[in-house]
Amino acid sequence: MIYSRIIGTGGYLPDQVITNADLERMVDTTDQWILERTGIRERRRAAPEQTTCDLAEAAGRRALEAAGLKGRQIDLLIVATTTPDHIFPSTATKLQERLGGAGYPSFDIQAVCTGFIYALDIADRYIRTGGANTALVVGAETFTRIIDWTDRGTCILFGDGAGAVVLEASDTPGILHSRLRADGRYRKLLWVPAGVSEDQREAKDQRPFVEMRGHEVFKWAVNNLSKIVDEALAECDLTRADLDWLVPHQANTRILAATARKLGLPMSKVVMTVERHGNTSAASVPLALDEAVRDGRIRSGDMVLLEAFGGGFTWGASLVRF
């Protein structure tokens, strides 16, 4: 039996820090208001000349270095992003060239904040079925490019960044199980109204910025994240007590805390970076994972649950043995 294991992680954050004090000068908000509702103190913003591919490259190279591999030694590359450099070509093909690779499958996927979980599951299936031996999976976003900086409900939440993992074929299980879900009926609760293929006569008043009905998103996310976690655990004949770490999508501290309560997990078992990173969409789970691996919290043998929820709606969970 062929399995896949994570053998390296990497992360990258742009240099520019936007604090709550900075936002106080931009919109009608306060540091206290932001902290009480989100737990976020600061977020990162890509420089004008930086693209999503630039962030993905930095994170990808660090993951490859941690795995002891060169870019030409992988044979599958997936980039999860909502903010690609171009409509086409894909960000993944640009990244493939930069890493010195050619010929192997490279593509983007779009599932917003759940994108990395989707990409991880796809790479795992490639390896399990013999379609690849080594894969680089990246979540990368320049999400601040689709934020209305006059909307205090959304501009306080999001930031830019990238995270990555390297998977390798193994005879021992690493990615134990992934469970993915989507429900398009709720798409307008969290979406960007403007698009490419919409009839422009109908879309002329729509703007290419995130719109969110926060209260409804919060309730839906908390209820459904705990369900999918239990589904993933049951599939592997595991219980919540078997988890060493929960690495959730870093949406805001209220969602993280509510999800942990529903799962009966102490916050000491939850990896949290949202205070310093904000919500980096598809990058948030691999960024948090990389931080916890590099600072020694997540160790070999640990059982880790990755989970995320995003626009679409999409949501998913992956059980990983390190």
How many domains are contained in the chain? Answer: 2
Distance between CA 262 and CA 32 in Å, rounded? 26
- Indicate if 143 and 217 belong to the same structural domain: no
- For residue 306, the cross-strand partners are 247, 318
Residues 14 and 159 in one domain: yes
Residue 27 sits in the same domain as residue 47: yes
Mean pLDDT, residues 106-116: 98
Q: Is residue 87 exposed (0-12), middle (13-18) or buried (19+ Cβ within 10 Å)?
A: exposed
**One domain, residues 236 and 124:** no
Q: State the chain's mean pLDDT as an integer.
A: 94
Instruction: For 269-322, write each residue's pLDDT tens digit.
Output: 999 999 999 999 999 999 999 999 999 999 999 999 999 999 999 999 999 999
Q: What is the pLDDT of residues 170-224, one digit of tens each?
A: 999 999 999 999 999 999 999 998 888 876 655 556 678 999 998 898 888 888 8
CA distance 244 to 269: 7
Task: Write the pLDDT tens digit of every residue in 216-259.
Answer: 988 888 888 888 988 999 999 999 999 999 999 999 999 899 88
Q: Are residues 307 and 182 in the same domain?
A: yes
Residue 224: predicted pLDDT: 86
Does 235 share its domain with 300?
yes
CATH code of the domain containing 123: 3.40.47.10
CA atoms of 14 and 45, how far apart (whole Å): 6
The domain in which residue 153 lies consists of 3-172
Proportion of the chain above pLDDT 90, given as a percent: 86
Sequence-distant (6+) residues with CB within 8 A of 204 are: none
Would you state the pLDDT for residue 214? 84
Residue 225 Cα to chain centre, angstroms: 15
Give pLDDT, residue 201: 58
Could you read off the pLDDT of 60-82 as tens digits, one per residue?
Answer: 999 999 999 999 999 999 999 99
In whole angstroms, what is the distance from residue 225 CA to residue 298 CA? 22
Mean pLDDT of 31-58: 97
pLDDT of residue 199: 64
Active site amino acids: 113, 249, 279
pLDDT tens sequence across 85-107: 999 999 999 999 999 999 999 99
Of 172, 189, 214, at which residue does a domain stop? 172
* Domain co-membership, 31 together with 123: yes
Please give the Cα distance from 286 to 168 (Å, whole number). Answer: 17
Q: Choose one of 172, 207, 237: the last residue of a domain.
A: 172
My answer on whether 159 and 190 are in the same domain is: no
Claim to verify: residue 22 and residue 157 sit in the same structural domain: yes
For residues 150 and 10, state if they share a domain: yes
Residue ending a domain, among 118, 140, 172, is 172
Does 156 lie in the same domain as 202?
Answer: no
| Contact in structure between 119 and 81 (CB atoms under 8 Å) | no
User: Per the structure block, which two tokens stand in for 14?
Assistant: 């742009």
Give backbone dihedrals phi and psi of 160, rounded to 5 degrees, phi first: -110, 155
